[in-house]
Every structure is written in C-alpha cells, then in structure tokens.
Structure 1
Amino acid sequence: MLHVRCSSRLCHALPCLIMASPYFLHSRSVVTRSGSQPAGCKPAASLRSRLTDRRRNVDPAPAAAVKVEVEEARISEHAPSSAPSSTGGCHERLQQPTVQPKTEADALPLSSHSRRRRQLKVEYDKDEGVSPVKTEHWEPHDWKRQLGFIREMRSGRDAPVDNMGAEKCYDTEALAHVRRFQVLVSLMLSSQTKDQVTAAAMQKLRAHGCTVENILRTDDETLGKLIYPVGFWRTKVKYLKLTTAMLQKEFGGDIPQSVEGLVRLPGVGPKMAHLAMDIAWDQVSGIGVDTHVHRISNRLGWLRKPTKNPEETRKALEEWLPRELWSEINWLLVGFGQQVCLPVNPLCSVCLNQHSCPSAHKNSPTKRPKPGSPGSPSPTSTFKTKTEPGQDPAVKDETTPVSPTRQRRRLKTKVNY
C-alpha cells in the first residue's frame, strides 16, 4: 500500500475540518483521516477498522444505515488517487468529489417496491378523471299528469273491481290461512272471467266451504257446478284440485309467501302471484298486469316500445314506475279499463287524457270472429254448442250450418223447376 507523507503545517490544520460524509455529519465526534497523530496522516485503509470499532461500541444501526457505511468504506478504500506528487497527497484526497451514498428509498427491499406498485394500481382504478357509465333513466312524457287524471276519474270507486275484486271475495271472519287460500282461489277463477262471474262463483264456494280440506273432499263434478260459469271452468277444476293437494302436502294448508313458491302451483301465473303477495301477505313484490293494464299502458305510451303480452308489460313498467305505485296501479287501471278505456270503442270523449293520449280518438281494431260464428271467414267449419253444468240437454243447439256447396245445389234445383 502506498504511504504518502504530508507536511506538518497541513496536517495540523486537518483536525479542524469535518468530513462531508452523511455518516460523519450525523455523528457528533470529529474524525479526520490523520486521526490523533498530528505528525502525519494514516492511509484511507484504516477507515474500515474505525468503522468496525464504532459499530461495536454504539447501538446497532438500522439496516439501511449499515449499508451506507459499508458502501462509504468500500468507495474510500478502492477509489484511485488523483495526486501526481507525494507532497500534496492529503490535500488532493480532500479535493476529490464526494460520492453520494444510496438513499433509504433505493435500499428498500423488493417487497416494498411491489407494494408501491399495487398502491399505484389502486389509485388508477379510483381515478376521478374517469367518468362512470351513466344509465339513462327513461320515463314517459307527462305520465304524472295522466296518472293524476286517472285518479280523478277513479275517485268514485264504483267499478266492478272495486266491489267484486279479489280483495272482496274472501271471508273476513275466517282464519288467516283460510283467508289467504280464498284470495288465491278467487285469483285463479278470475282469469278470462268478469269480476261479476268470479264473485258469484266465490260466493257459492264459500257457502260450500272454501277450505283446503273441503276442496280436497269435493269431487270434480260438484266442484265444476260450484264454479260454473267461469271461463275454462273444466281446466280450473283440475288446477284447483292439484293446487289444493300441493298446498296440503308441502305448505301445511297455507299458501306460499314468495312469488317463486306461488308460480310453482298449477294454474298460477306471475300476475296472480304478485296480486296474492299484495292482498294475502301485504307485500309488494311486483306489478299485477292483466289485460286491462297491458292494453292501457300501450295506449298511453307508458312503455319504451310496444309489448306483446302482459308479462313484457310488467317488466317494462317496473323499469321506470316508482315502487310506491306498484300496488295502486293495478286497481287504478283495471277500473279505468272497465269504465272508460274499454277494449272496443273506448270512451275517449269523456276521458281527461284525450289531449295527451297518443291513442285517443282512434278506431279500435276489429275483433276477429271466432271460428264457426256467423261472421267467420270459414263458414264450412262445423261447430257444436258445449253443454255446461245445469243446462238442459234438450235445449242444446247442435245444428250444423249448411255448406256453400249444398246452397249452390239447392239454387240449381230451384232454377231447374
């Protein structure tokens, strides 16, 4: 190792200097390259031993500080000397540019770096500059004003649904589970049937005993006579017996308290399920859409696009109509459809919405005649009048209309004579 001699004048001045290293600035003691010997200076190789002794005497330093100290010693030991002569060696060493040690941020382990990257990613996900996707809330034009007019026209509450609907067909003095069962039965009978006919059938059923046990004990013929003349009464007799047996076996004689459970019953659809939840369980689960609500919603333009069946209408209405109106909208539109907005030839001249309804004063579509009727396009088809319970068989009309071929033959016969 090269030993450099220095002048006594320069070495006496060295103890007054403070090293520029961050380690020596942190320490309160002044350490020079010459040490405590004023007569000469020791080479830079002695710095490692001093650092080692100091680490033994003081408290253990953090890992980042120890790495800085070791790096400082390595640079000081292996740095090439730029002094060409032996007289200015110590002075030239002091003039060497100071090497900046690594900071604690550079000495962080890989896990901290990865942690910082994850934080940056989270910050990017929560960037306020990215605007969220806005869903357009559609609602029909001027629907609140139209609904107010319908309420005004329905203020009398004198429509058939107000006096003979499902809310009026059960026995108010019966047990709770019996009342709920009677509500469900009245809803099943009301399909494709006027409220007056449904109310009369329910009155006969209640007099017979409209309970789960009595319906199961009643034979199909007797049950058919009780509910006649509701629409599709034979099919409804079968559904009533199947539903009652299912209620007795799976639900203990009560009706399900969910839409999913109600639609599992034979003959019960979404409209009946939502109405049963509202009337029997006092829970609003959806809008009960029948033919009146389906027709009027399309006429008023309350749907984004025209719908083809009541189930599509229900989904379209629930997208924009406030939930607090779901229970009211059924009886409002049903009574309005029974009195003013009729299926054929609606009374637009007395309707308060005639100036805002897009379907006002338009001709209703002609009703297609049933096959076999006098106005049917195929008069050659034969038909027979169905015999219903209670009808005298002698009154049956089983006449078959004369086909056009026979009519032409008769005409030719008359002409020949």
Structure 2
Amino acid sequence: MLPVRCCTRVCYVVQGFIMTSPYFVQNRSVITRSASQTAGCTPAASVRAKLTNRRRNENPVSPVPVKVEVEEKRVSELTSSSLPLSAGHELLHQATVQPKTESLPQYPHSRRRRQLKVEYEKDEGVSPMKTEHWEPPDWRKQLGFIREMRSGRDAPVDNMGAEKCYDPEAPAHVRRFQVLVSLMLSSQTKDQVTAAAMQKLRAHGCTLENILATDDEKLGKLIYPVGFWRNKVKYLKLTSAMLQKEFGGDIPNSVEGLVRLPGVGPKMAHLAMDIAWDQVSGIGVDTHVHRISNRLGWLTKPTKNPEETRKALEEWLPRDLWSEINWLLVGFGQQVCLPINPLCSVCLNQHSCPSAHKSSPEKRPKAGSPHSPSPTSSFKIKSEPEQEAALKYEMINKELQPTPVSPTRKRRLKSKVNS
C-alpha cells in the first residue's frame, strides 16, 4: 500500500498527462470518471491496469498526420505561454477535428490589407471603341435646299471664279500657273474685279516668264484695282521666281509645297489642289463659307477665322462633299445669305436656320469720330424736326402764361378803379 503522498503525486501526473496528450483529450470523459472513482489514495498499479484494460477495449486511434502534430505543438506552446487553458483546449480540438492540409500565412488584424492592382490584357484583335460621331441636325436637308437655290448656277463665282479664269488652250503647266495667279488675286477681292484683272494679264501673257520679265509698275497697272494690289505684285514676283528655281516652272502638287509660296494660304492651296491637280486635299473656306457655316450651326462651337472653320467642317462633313461645298456656299453667300441684311424671307432654310430673320448688326462709329456720342453725355441728341417742334411748343406756352404784375402796378390799378 503506497502512502497518500505518493498517490497524490501519481494523480497529478495522470492529470497533467490527460491535459496535454491528444489521445486523452478525445477520451477525457472516460479518464475523468475513472479518476473520480479512484480519487483519494488509489494505487499506481491499479490505475495502470485499468488504463491498460480500457485501451484494449477501445478501438485503436488512427495516427494523426505530421502537420497536425506540428500544429498541436505550436498551439500547446501558445497555450502554455500566453493563452488561457480553455482557449488552448479549443485550439487543440479544432486542430484534431479539422486538420489543415495547407499552411497559409496568418496576418494580425492590425495589419492593413494590401490593395490589389487590376490589370487588363490588351487584345490585339479587338478594335478600340470609337467615339460618337457628331453632326449638325438637319444638315442634309439644309444642304439639299442650298443645292436647289443654286441650281441656276448664275452667281458670280459660277461665271468668274478661278475655274473660269485660266486659258483652256494653254499647256497644262501654264493652266495650273494661271489658276494659282487667279486665286492669289481673289483674296479680299470680288470675283468681277478678279476676272477683269486676269483678262488683262492673259492678254499681256500670263506665264511664269512674262511675269518675271514685267516690271512692278506695269504689273501693278495690269492687276489694279484688286485688293492690296501693291502687296500682290511683290507676291507674284517672288512666287514666280520660287517656282522657276525650286519646282521646275510648275506649281507644287501638295498642300505643304503650295503654302510655302509667298501670298498663298491654306484656302488657296486646297482650291489649287482641287482645280489644278484634280485632287481633294481639304475644304477651301473663304469668308462666305466661314460666315454661312456659323449661321447654319454646322460647327460644334462658333469659330473666329476661316482656318478654324475648315478644321471643324472636316471633322464631320463627308469627304465626297469637300469639293462641292465651296462653290455651293460661295454662290449662296453672294446671292441669298449676304454679309449684311441677308435675304432670309426668300431662303428655303429660314425655318431650320438658327440665325434666320436676325438682321446683321449695324456698323457703329469708332470712338472719337464726329458721329460718335460723347461718353459723358447722357442726353439724346434731337434731330432738326424735333428741335423745331420743341421750340414752337415753348413759344406757345409762353404766350398762354399770364405775365407777372409788379406790386407798384397793382397799386396804380387799384387807385384807378377806386377813382
């Protein structure tokens, strides 16, 4: 018979073994009942025998995987160091019941989660999404009405434009040179004046060699009275010399080469490419096309100069209309859509044009001119008829009003009456 002290030690050893061993965790209820039955002074041999018999009766426990044992060891260390006893048993129970097949990194809750960067693979076969194509409302209907109004082809541009100013019997390079000269002279000039100047030049000999051989004074008399004729004389001489030196006596066949010439702008270059070379490179926009495009609302926003209008029109207008739109709008601007006081009452687009029946603003006198009112004057200047009427009105009022009587005269009148 072992002493009581030894039995107590054996019980403590058995209890500690039960708390740490996974086998006894699964069979805690059995061990606890046996321990309660043998509480007190139970011999070590009887305890060992009972445990041996119970092991024989129970089914053998399947071996735990290696990773589960490693997980149990880690949990037991956490339990013994920082976690309470009950939490450690729960972790052990979870580890044995649901063994992990793959070890995943565990991050503390205080650490912020990384944001994922989503990247898309570029599909070479898929075309990029096209933006919505803008076009003005009712522009086809308006263009059809303009064609109907221009069906007579009786505008000045139809009979005296650049297409009618060259000599059709001249060689090809001479015809192209005459087209370029007529376009240079047409800037800031009416078609009637340009046609008359070209007629005199053709009678003199409108060739590259003759222009270079003619002195400036004679050339100025031939092209007078086109707008800015002195500057155009210089441009004609410089352009002719440049064509002879760099382009072999012919005009360039590209817009880039044409705009290099003195006095040639984008409008002239695109028209020269269309008329001389029969190539559509862009829209020729002059003052008429610029004005009418803004009046009809054919632009996403109002433009300030013809070059901006050209770029805005080319963004939406079909390319097969680029050659036609110039002579259509130029003739329409010469006959109906005039710069000042347009004839909206006879225009077929008066119901769809946003600028219809809006008279052009009158030209105001410049500041400081005799006709401009003084900035400090707030009264209205009356015309001569208004001044005469006001003067007559004042004279009539004076005659109707009684004349004031002095006090001495009143006394004299009273003395006369009393006497």
The bucket for the TM-score relative to the shorter chain is 0.5 to 0.7
**TM superposition shift of 1:372:** 10
**TM superposition shift of 1:371:** 9.4
Structure 1 letter corresponding to 2:140: K
1:331 aligns with 2:327: yes
Structure 1 letter corresponding to 2:316: W
Q: Which has the higher helix share?
A: 2
Q: What are the Cα deviations for residues 113-142 of structure 1, in whole angstroms up to 9, with x where unaligned?
A: xxxxxxxxx9932299x9943312000001
In the TM superposition, 1:288-307 aligns within 5 A as: 288-307=284-303
- The match for 1:168 is 164
SS at match of 1:125: coil
Q: Quick one: which of 150, 155, 162 aligns to 1:154?
A: 150
1:265 aligns with 2:261: yes
1:125 aligns with 2:122: yes
Q: Quick one: which of 308, 312, 318 aligns to 2:308?
A: 312
Q: How many residues align?
A: 257
Runs of 4+ residues deviating >6 angstroms: 370-374
Q: Distance in 1 between matches of 2:174 and 2:356?
A: 44
Structure 2 letter corresponding to 1:189: L
- The match for 1:243 is 239
In the TM superposition, 1:357-372 aligns within 5 A as: 357-368=353-364
When residues 158 and 316 of structure 1 are mapped into structure 2, their CA distance, relative to the original with a 3 A threshold, is: same
Q: Distance in 1 between matches of 2:191 and 2:305?
A: 21
Structure 1 letter corresponding to 2:159: N
1:188 aligns with 2:184: yes
- The match for 2:252 is 256
1:227 aligns with 2:223: yes
**TM superposition shift of 1:252:** 1.0
Q: What are the Cα deviations for residues 225-258 of structure 1, in whole angstroms up to 9, with x where unaligned?
A: 0000000000000100000000011011100000
Structure 1 letter corresponding to 2:121: Y
TM-score, normalising length from structure 1?
0.59
Q: Distance in 1 between matches of 2:225 and 2:120?
A: 70
Q: Quick one: which of 191, 205, 215 aligns to 2:201?
A: 205
Q: Distance in 1 between matches of 2:234 and 2:247?
A: 19
When residues 323 and 125 of structure 1 are mapped into structure 2, their CA distance, relative to the original with a 3 A threshold, is: same
- The match for 2:111 is none
Q: What are the Cα deviations for residues 95-120 of structure 1, in whole angstroms up to 9, with x where unaligned?
A: xxxxxxxxxxxxxxxxxxxxxxxxxx
Identity among equivalent positions (%) equals 90
Q: What are the Cα deviations for residues 270-289 of structure 1, in whole angstroms up to 9, with x where unaligned?
A: 00000000000000000000
When residues 292 and 372 of structure 1 are mapped into structure 2, their CA distance, relative to the original with a 3 A threshold, is: farther
In the TM superposition, 1:52-71 aligns within 5 A as: none
Q: Distance in 2 between matches of 1:139 and 1:183?
A: 33
TM-score, normalising length from structure 2?
0.59
Gaps of 5+ in 2: 1-118, 375-419
Q: Distance in 2 between matches of 1:369 and 1:238?
A: 34
**TM superposition shift of 1:165:** 0.1
> How much is the aligned-residue C-alpha RMSD, in angstroms?
2.4
Q: Distance in 2 between matches of 1:190 and 1:289?
A: 13
Q: Distance in 1 between matches of 2:367 and 2:184?
A: 27
Structure 1 letter corresponding to 2:145: F
- The match for 1:345 is 341
